[in-house]
Each structure stands twice: as C-alpha cells, then as structure tokens.
Chain A
Amino acid sequence: MAEPAVPRSAAVPVTVLTGYLGAGKTTLLNRILTERHGRRYAVVINEFGELGVDNDLVVESDEEVFEMNNGCICCTVRGDLIRIVGGLMKRRDKFDGIIIETTGLANPAPVAQTFFVDEGVRQKTRLDAIVTVVDAKHLPERLEDSHEAADQIAFADVIVLNKTDLVSPEELEAVEERIRAINRFARIHRTERAALPIADVLDQSAFDLERVLAETPDFLTDDAHEHNDDVTSVSFELAQPIDPERFNAWISVLLAEKGQDLLRTKGILHYAGEDRRFAFQAVHMIADGAFIGPWKEGETRTSRLVFIGRNLNRPQLRRGFESCQAA
C-alpha cells in the first residue's frame, strides 16, 4: 500500500465520544466546544438530543454500520464516517480536530475499526482517543442490561465517571471498581455535570501505545480472572526478545479464532535484533502494526501485551505469548 499522503503530525486528531443516553455526553461535548482553547472542531453527531450542540461545524449523520467483505465476520465499519471524513478533508483548514459523538447504544467497535480499515481515513486522520462518559448512579444497571455498556468501557481510553454527586462515596468506589475490572488501562476522571479540564479529554494520543503502556499501573500484578461473559483485561510482559514470525503466526490465529471476544489488543514489542519498538494493536480481528521510535538508551527492552475482552483464558494467552520468544 502507498505510504500515508500526510505525515502523522498533519493527520487530523479524532476524538470519539461514547456513553449511554443521559450519561452526560452532550454536556461534555458542549463544555469542550465552549471552552476557550482557540481550537476549532468539526463535530459529527448522530442524534439530536434535548441539548443542542453549540458549534459552527456540525455534521448530522445516521450511523451506518456495514460488514466488510474481507472474511472477518466481526469486521464492521461506519460507512457514514468514511464519507464524512472524506468530505471534511475538502475544508481541512477550517478545523483542528474532529469529535464524533455516537448514539447511546452504539458498539464502539465499528467506529474504531473504521480508523484501521479504510485507507483514506487512515491516511488523513488519527484516532486520538475513545472517551466514554458513564453515569455513576446508573452504570451498574446498564451493565446488567446490555453488552454495549461494558463494550463502551472496554474500548475507552478515557472514562468520564459523571454524576458523582448522585452517589455516596462507597457507591462511587464500587462503581469505579467495576470499571477497573473491565478496563484497567483507561484513565478515569470523576466529574459532576461533566466538568473537567478539556486537556483531560482531548489530545490524549491514547492510541499512541507507548504512552498508554508506559502509564499502565501495576503491570506485573494481574489478578487471576474468571472465565465468564464479563469483559476483563489482562496484560503480559516478556523480557526475552520476540521472534516476529512466531508472533505473527500466533496472533493471527488467535485473532481469527477469538477475535469476537477480543475487543482490544495492544502491545509494544521488542523484536529480536531490532532497535526500534514495534507497536501492535487490534480491534477484534482487525490488526495493525508499525515500528515506532527506537528504544531509549539504557531502557529495559520489555515486550508488553494487553488484552481487553470476554472469556480471556489467561494461562493460555500467557503460554501463547511466551511461545513467541526468539530462540
């Protein structure tokens, strides 16, 4: 495939806002838009809520999710976003970033996969972060009701735990624990009325794996996880260099077989004999990888891999990852 037409720095940052109706998505969106940050955003919305959106450049769209004919049963993308990004690029000088608000019940996978699968979108934009707004009071019910609530948390890079004023400190602790159980790698911000510095939401470079993995706490102290339908997350480290061929062979089979359960996979890998770090990420079965900058001088070259999903068989995943070590 051709090289990206624009350097990564020129790629438009895209922030995806997800969360159930009533969680405070639109409130957060309007806070972002009205704060004086000197930036202009193109906003893509899919439902006009009770609150209007206060912005010059608002694109109204129907979420059109379709399957790719590429043999992946779970590879779905947002056709409307492909068109909208293409259209917006014709007036690229009129905005600094794109914010996409999804509907309350949306599964975030198609949005995320769009940024992996469509070459035009990949070349011109970069997914900065998936921000999920959750309602501290109602989240436990939502998690019982539906898969989507857990999926939205699983996909999040940033979680805005909103309406904290409506729950007791104990309830708040409990709900944060539920979130951590699903996704230990997202940053959580507690808010009332979605009030937080927008620097906590925008320009996260959350898909910059280096930063995500560097900031991930207690990497080595995983809990043992039960095998059930709940979304959980696990991570592994390897000190030995990785054999790229073995890794590719293992991860392709793994994603093909378990891709529906694996919501997000991300890692920084130390390939044997390679001075640069290899960044790997996947949404369900759709994977992407590239060399990023070199290892720092004196830095321990440790390979790290994170899985967020359902039915994660921790020992099996560990054995698989360990089998990728270079001989």
Chain B
Amino acid sequence: MSASATADALLNTRGESRALDAFVVAAAFERGGRFCAFALGDGTLSLVDGLGQSEWRSVAAHEGAVLALAPDARAGAFVSGGDDGALRRTSSAGEVSEIARFGSRWVEQVACHAGAKGSGLIAASVGKAIHLFDEALVDKAGTQLKRFEHKSTVSGIAFDAKGKRIAASHYNGVSLWFVAAKDASPRELEWKGSHIGVALHPEGDAVVSAMQENALHGWRLSDGQHMRMSGYPAKAESLSFSRRGKWLASSGADAIILWPFFGGGPMGKAPLELAGGDGVLCTRVACHPGHDAVAGGFADGLVVLADIDSGRVLPVAAPGRGAVSALAWNADGTRLAFGTESGFAAIVDFARK
C-alpha cells in the first residue's frame, strides 16, 4: 500500500467525499447535528445529509461567492453572507430566505449564537459595521436589533460562549461589545496594527487576534494584560480554542501551533507544535469539541487529527487535493468536514461503530 493510500485510510473507510468544482470557502454542521453545509465560491451551498443518505444537494444561496458561513442559531439551518451583499438563511431542506441585504457591500463575516429556549443571535459584518439580528424575529422584515460601528473594516467576529459579548477585530485592535447594553460603546482592546481575525476564550479569560504581521496578539480580560505570540512564517488565518480553553490552536506555520492558556498564559513560553516536519503550511485548524484534540488542514491537502496531550497524529486525508480552506467539527465531535481551494469536500465519521 502506498503512503498516500495509508493516509487516506480513514477517508476511504469512514468518509464520504465529492469534487465540487468550486473553492470551498467554509464548512459547518447545523446545530441539530445531522446536516453539513459546504459554502462555495460559486455562490452555492452543498448540503449533505449526514445520516448516510449520501445525497449532496446544491442550493443557490448567493449570486456571487459565498464569503462566510455559520450554523444558524436554530437547528436545521445555516446562515451565509456573500459578495452579493446578502445575508441569507438556508434550511437543511434547501429553502433559502433573506435575512438582510446590504447593497453592493460584501457580507464578509457571519456568526450565530444559540441561546436558551430557542432564542438566539445572528451577527454579520459589512464594512465597518456589525449588524445584529434576533433569531426569533428574523423571519419578519426589518428586525435588525443593533448596529455596532467601528472606525475601520471589521475583519473578524466572534461571540463569547454565553452570547453576551461579541468581539470584532479591525485596524488597531479589537472591540468587545456587550450585546444587551443600552449604551452602545465597546471595550476597546488596543494594539497598533492591522488585526485580521479574532477568537474568544471559551471561559471568557482572553481575546486573541491574528495580525497582518504574522503574529497573534492577545488581551487577558481580567486585567488587560497583553500577550504577544509571534514567530509565524505566514498569517495565522485560522484560530481555534480547545474545548475548555487550555490551548489555542492556530494555522500559519508548518505545523499546528498550540499556545498554552493555563499556568499563567502563553507569555514567554514556546508553543507546542504538532504534525509538523513536512515544511508545508498549516492553513486551517479546528479543535475537537469534546477532547483535547485538534484537526489541522495543510496547504498540500493533508488533513490530520492530533491528540494534544500525547502528540499522536492520525492522518485523515492524504495530500494532493488542494490547499485545505475549510475545516469544521459537528457539535458532539463525531464528524469532521473539510474542503479545499480546488473544490474537494469530504466528511469523515469518527463515531464509535
């Protein structure tokens, strides 16, 4: 058996894949845990019923490219933003409805938070603004809850675990907004330079941004302490905290880079490097929702699953299908979806058989 056939063993025995013929921008599982969606550069979503029906359905969600995708706050649906200026919801049955339209402006970032009793929030960034919608009201027209303005274009958004705060990265720092606050003024976390993405610690300890200058910058929220994490050869476009926030995984180097967020934090420490050694850039990371394990996708198409404590690496898919551009777990961590710039998409089942 060749090396790549071995590396493909999981994909071959427990996976399902397609060549979708368009850049895979993002992948997501809806909150019901059954359907997966791949958002594509041709404006479609490819919907996959995960219960072994093997039906991959193409749904025209946008006129241009899909730029962002998130599981909707309610089960059974996805929310997407496109370069057609539309923010739309697509149900797992393939019905597309419009949440809002923003003219010729791109909808570049989307995030949703599922609250208690079916409540929830949908956030989308368009230029310098974040538009916030109440999940319960979006089926009615003109139900925008709030609009948060920034001095420069928003490059990343993230809800905290409770949906109380939303973080927005932009030029010169990150703004942290209280979603329910009456007076709309954020806590400004400042650091000079261009911040291109943001992640919030799952326990609310810290905010971390990726920077144009191939570094991460973090702020400890209790005291505003700065954290600098540098040494990347490329931009860390993908950030993911491990389930309880012990580690922050990132792309941007020729290994999965993990910074410790315990025992005083990452300052002055060397990060853990997993699945490295091939000289190929890691392009996407996704921490497992239930274990201290992380999936990583690389520029040559390799996808791996690494156990953080032992450092053991399990190949999921062999190189050769295009740079990995999308990587996502379902909520219980039984399935991993990934896609590449050249249109390969797959779902691999990790459930006990």
Chain A positions within 8 Å of B, measured between CB atoms, are 1-2, 5, 57-60, 62, 64, 66-70, 77, 79-80, 82-83, 87-93, 118-120
Contact = CB atoms under 8 A, between A and B. Distances in A.
B83 interface: yes
A60 B152 CA distance: 15
Contact of A87 (B104, B106, B212): B106
Contact of B193 (A64, A69, A91): A69
A79 B153 contact: yes
B67 A90 contact: yes
A70 B194 CA distance: 12
Given A70-B213, A120-B235, A87 B108 contact: yes
Contacts of A118: 212
A89 to B, nearest CB: 7
B42 interface: yes
Contact of B41 (A1, A69, A79, A92): A92
- What 4 A-B pairs are tightest by C-beta distance, nearest first? A90-B41, A91-B65, A90-B65, A90-B23
Contact of B65 (A2, A64, A83, A87): A87
Contacts of A1: 233-234
Given A2-B281, A69-B213, A79 B152 contact: yes
A64 B155 CA distance: 12
B94 interface: no
B304 interface: no
Nearest to B67: A87
A313 B299 CA distance: 46
Contacts of A83: 108, 153, 155
A60 B105 contact: yes
A70 B192 CA distance: 12
Contacts of A59: 83, 104, 106
Nearest to B24: A90
A84 to B, nearest CB: 8
Contact of A91 (B41, B105, B171): B41
A57 B65 CA distance: 11
A117 B234 CA distance: 12
Contacts of B281: 2
Given A91-B65, A119-B234, A62 B153 contact: yes
Contacts of B106: 59, 87
A64 B23 contact: no
A82 B235 CA distance: 12
18 contacts: A1-B233, A2-B234, A5-B323, A58-B104, A59-B106, A62-B127, A64-B171, A68-B194, A69-B211, A79-B171, A79-B194, A79-B212, A82-B212, A83-B108, A87-B106, A87-B108, A89-B23, A118-B212
Contacts of A64: 152-153, 171
B218 to A, nearest CB: 16
Interface string B205-225: 000000111000000000000
B104 A60 contact: yes
Contacts of A119: 234-235
A69 B83 contact: no
Contacts of B83: 59, 87, 91
Nearest to B254: A2
A218 to B, nearest CB: 41
B261 to A, nearest CB: 24
A12 to B, nearest CB: 14
B327 interface: no
A11 B23 CA distance: 16
B171 A69 contact: no
A5 B153 contact: no
B64 interface: yes
Contacts of A77: 212
Contact of B194 (A66, A87, A88, A89): A66
Given A60-B105, A83-B155, A91 B213 contact: no
Given A57-B64, A62-B128, A90-B41, 13 more contacts: A62-B153, A66-B152, A68-B194, A68-B212, A70-B213, A79-B152, A79-B171, A79-B194, A83-B153, A90-B23, A91-B65, A119-B234, A120-B235
B25 interface: yes
A91 B42 contact: yes
Contacts of B41: 90-92
Contacts of B25: 90
Interface string B110-141: 00000000000000000110000000000000
Nearest to A119: B234
Contacts of B127: 62
Contacts of A69: 192-193, 211-213
A64 B299 CA distance: 29
B235 to A, nearest CB: 7
Contacts of A87: 65, 67, 83, 106, 108
Nearest to B104: A60
A92 B64 CA distance: 11
A73 to B, nearest CB: 13
Contacts of A57: 64
A80 B128 CA distance: 11
A65 to B, nearest CB: 10
Most A Cβ at <10 Å: residue of B25, B64, B155: B64
A258 B22 CA distance: 46
A236 B44 CA distance: 55
B292 to A, nearest CB: 29
Nearest to B214: A119
A77 B171 CA distance: 12
A110 to B, nearest CB: 12
A54 to B, nearest CB: 14
B126 to A, nearest CB: 11
A93 B22 CA distance: 9
Interface in B51-80: 64-67
Nearest to A45: B104
B149 to A, nearest CB: 13
A66 B192 CA distance: 10
